[in-house]
Chains A and B, each alone.
Chain A
Amino acid sequence: NEEPESIILSTTTSTQDSGLLDFILPGFTEKTGIEVKVVAVGTGKALQMGRDGEADVLLVHAKSSEIEFVAEGHGAERFDVMYNDFIMVGPEPLQYETIGDTLNGIMENEMVFVSRGDDSGTHKKELSIWASRGITPEGKWYMSAGKGMGDVLQMANELRGYTLTDRATYLSMKDKLELEIVFEADALLLNEYGVIAVNPQKNDSINNKGANKFIDWILSTETQEKIGEFGKDLYGQPLFFPNAK
């Protein structure tokens, strides 16, 4: 009596916490009979699990790190899956032109800013924006939490601070938070998710066939449409926009 075939999917908390995976994954198992074991961690750890060969397939959102990951030979190829965007949220509205100005303003006024601080895709994005302004954020106002998106949103809510978040997590938690969008829609804030099958040469346990089936499935028109549907009924807008080629 063999256990059913399964793959380990290492992904970020946003895909799990937003409810997307619960929405789409049953379709995959139904179609292929393969069970997907989701380990939801920060992108940093997800990539590390890929490097260590602990996962079979990754669904993450830190494009530059992903490209590097593939370049180093840890995975075969990276495919675009979907995107949404990052937004700045906070307790009071802010009037700045660009995301850079917004962060700058927060720093200058020493308003509380809660950073993911966990090497995640969101964290990397935040750091890149600071870096683009030549700023090293420091001080009592800048709180590095080392936690997931949901936790950080709650902390920002509690501390009446600002934070950078992906739109999906924010929307899914919006009614529990007294935070509003203070900045959005900037080309810099694109949040792209990619899928990568882990290099099967890492060890004997990697289920490369299952991983490839998963990739085929998630890039298929049918699944892509489903991703586009997700959230429409609940939030009046999709949480993710499919962009597989």
Chain B
Amino acid sequence: MDIHITNLLKKYHDKAVVDIDHTQFKSGFIYGITGDNGAGKTTLLKIIAGLERYDAGEILYSGVPLEQGMMKKITYLSQTPYLMRTSVYENIVYPLKIRNIDPMTIEKKAKDIMDELQITELKNQLATQLSGGESQKVALARALVFDPEVLLLDEPTASIDPATIDTIEEAITKRNKQQKMTVIMISHNMDQVKRMCHEIVCMKKGKKISIKE
């Protein structure tokens, strides 16, 4: 799914928070978004995910505006993820359950992703009682488990310990390679962005200021 943005404008109290003339995210690539605190990165990502209204401009997904069916294929992982008041396992299988996938497959997929992100021991813990990094990992597992076409990540490794960062980066790049998953991730870690991304969008005060390869 290609994403084209034209003349996008989003204001808060008359302050333009996102103001992008044109940019595009091509299917099957990994994009990094960097920029100062308050540059508008989170706002942009939420708009792309269809979670935030905007004041002007146009976003086309494979040539058409966002519609219900497409939203099912896009997922967004927040900077402060919300986990449901159930077990870690129930959180992770939720997107599969609502897709009516058969129980056997659900169990297998959940097991695989938990093993991959090394959170199997947390399986039965209440998701609202996790540590900062644990929450981030569980939310990521929940986002990856249903193989979305477009993955929007907001600082996914901000609170992750160094050993696990590699695991997570690997999990993401693997899916990009194997399933052509499109990834747009915000990160303040320039090394990480350079390691992972095909293209980098840098934002400053709402505007896109440069693209580095």
A–B contact with Cβ pairs below 8 Å: the answer is: no
Interface residues of chain A, those whose CB is within 8 Å of chain B, are none
